[in-house]
Structure 1
């Protein structure tokens, strides 16, 4: 997923923030925990077949700079290479879907459901809606990209 200009501007803010905010999260059992320093980017909802099969529905995630992310319990993360360019990380113990990782990029996506509340952000866009399931409609008025 390429970063939009608004996300790139937000990353510039993350790099210059004087008093960073920290957002925490974990898997269901707490075996994998993470902290993100700085405000979260607006998440997207991916409706692609892979995300639907991984999560059981669409997958809402936010992109964060790797340098702003700390993870404990990395030994409990299993990585599945879902393509040549991307791997998906989930907890080996409880199965929580946590990460969508394009290793060649300076950012990683984290599933919104893994964050402890509040996240202080809102869904921004739906992507890969051409692949969405036929059992639901997108009615929230947010932008929708076919891919």
Structure 2
């Protein structure tokens, strides 16, 4: 379990926000093909929170029933994957990348590693891009950023009522 008293998170556009209190259980990386497809990535980082410690603070997700047992929650506006849910359980899994501070939760396990990318071991050997973004480009991106900040806001986009 990963303890922190209060964690917030949400989607990229800010339409769906949540708060999780208490411990996050079993923070892990799932490599199954279903999680790969749902994340649009090579794996999905997840951790569970008790439903009694979980609330939506803005909006509601859309749900896709990915199997007879599991549904996946995502933002209907921007598409951010947010939840892996087994409805009859007393917990819901959060996607760790949707947390406002994802670096605070270190995975403790990997699952479904038979479907893990065979070349992951070589990632640290890849060359690094030699130069960061140019200051002009970084400033232009910052000035036109539409991504919700990594903290709760009273309204979003800024200036609109909740």
TM over 0.5: yes
Unaligned stretches of 5+ residues in structure 1: 1-6, 15-19, 140-147
SS at match of 1:30: coil
Pairwise CA distance, 1:38: 1.3
Pairwise CA distance, 1:21: 1.2
Match of 1:92?
A: 76
The within-5 A match list for 1:1-147 is: 21-55=5-39, 56-75=41-60, 77-117=61-101, 120-137=104-121
Please tell me the root mean square deviation across aligned C-alpha atoms, in Å.
Answer: 2.2
Looking at structure 2, the residues matched to 82 and 74 of structure 1 have their Cα atoms a distance apart, in angstroms, of: 22
Deviations 1:25-67 (A, max 9, x none): 0100111000011133341100000111111220001111000
Pairwise CA distance, 1:102: 0.1
Q: Aligned pair count?
A: 122
Which structure 1 residue ranges, 4+ long, deviate > 4 Å from structure 2?
none
Query: TM-score, normalised to structure 1's length?
Result: 0.74
Unaligned stretches of 5+ residues in structure 2: 124-162
Q: Which one has a bigger Cα radius of gyration? A: 2
